[in-house]
Amino acid sequence: MTTIGFIYPDHAAEDDYPLAQRLLGEVAQLPVAHIYGTDLHAVDELRDLGSEQRLAEGAAKLAPHSPSAVVWACTSGSFVFGHDGAAEQVTKLSRASGTPASSTSFAFVRAAQRLGLRRVAVTASYPNDIAELFVQFLTVEGIDVIRMSSAGFDTAAEVGGLTDQHVLDLALSGDHPDADAVLIPDTAMRTISLVGAMEDALGKPVLTANQVSIWEGLRIAGVAARSDALGELFRHWPDDGTPHGW
């Protein structure tokens, strides 16, 4: 069985990964390695969290699993470097892990491209200044953010403690009638069990941080997986089993 490793900051919603593994029918193992730093949603702290040294530590922790691909499962800890900096971050992570690599920020972009999304709403848990950096990242990739809302949570721990109803309410309140989809960018938020309910309530695709991170890991590892339980994104693997973009 293919193994896809995820480097995850601290502890918050990492239980989304074994849940997704079960929902996908055990097509791949999805081990999580933790790295540690402050969980504050602030630029300097996030840049430290996503530094080359910390990600190399995460890659070393995943090495015993012999992963076929590695994903930096942190949206803010990637887009905070800007588009070029986030691309360099992925290149260095690939070098450190010896595997194809990506990050949650690029996972959002590739997932949006797969679904043909052009105009999106972003409902972020971060403070406004951090959320704006995500909008800038998407804009560089040609994705038009027609509405951005910010819940203003200062730490990942606060986000990890949100109830299912609170997460659903954030998704609903962040929508825009002209948006092709709603994007929810924080791997500290538990969303894997809620994607279907959010899409049913909104009537459109919803992309969440842990969902797209897992999809991106499967994609770059060349593993095809379909699941009705994980939203519209996971219903679009080609019928011949060919992974997206491969």
The arrangement of secondary structure in 116-207, i.e. its CATH architecture, is: 3-Layer(aba) Sandwich (3.40)
The confidence score (pLDDT) of residue 242 equals: 46
- Measure CA 179 to chain center: 19
Domain residue ranges of the chain, discontinuous segments joined by +? 2-106+210-235, 116-207
| pLDDT per residue as tens, the chain (246 positions) | 899 999 999 999 999 999 999 999 989 999 999 999 877 788 889 999 999 999 999 999 999 999 999 999 999 999 999 999 999 999 999 999 999 999 999 999 999 999 999 999 999 999 999 999 999 999 999 999 999 999 988 888 889 899 999 999 999 999 999 999 999 999 999 999 999 999 999 999 999 999 999 999 999 999 988 898 999 999 876 554 444 443
Cα–Cα dist 154/2, whole Å = 36
- The CATH number that domain 2-106+210-235 falls under is 3.40.50.12500
Q: Give dist(CA 208, CA 70) in Å, integer.
A: 18
Q: What is the reported pLDDT for 204?
A: 97
Looking at residue 155, its pLDDT comes to 85
R_g over Cα of the chain: 16
To the nearest 10°, the Cα dihedral for 81, 178, 182, 78? -10
Same CATH topology for 2-106+210-235 and 116-207: the answer is yes
- Sorted by sequence, the CB contacts under 8 Å of residue 148 that are 6+ apart come out as 121, 122, 123, 124, 131, 132, 135
**Predicted pLDDT at 245:** 41
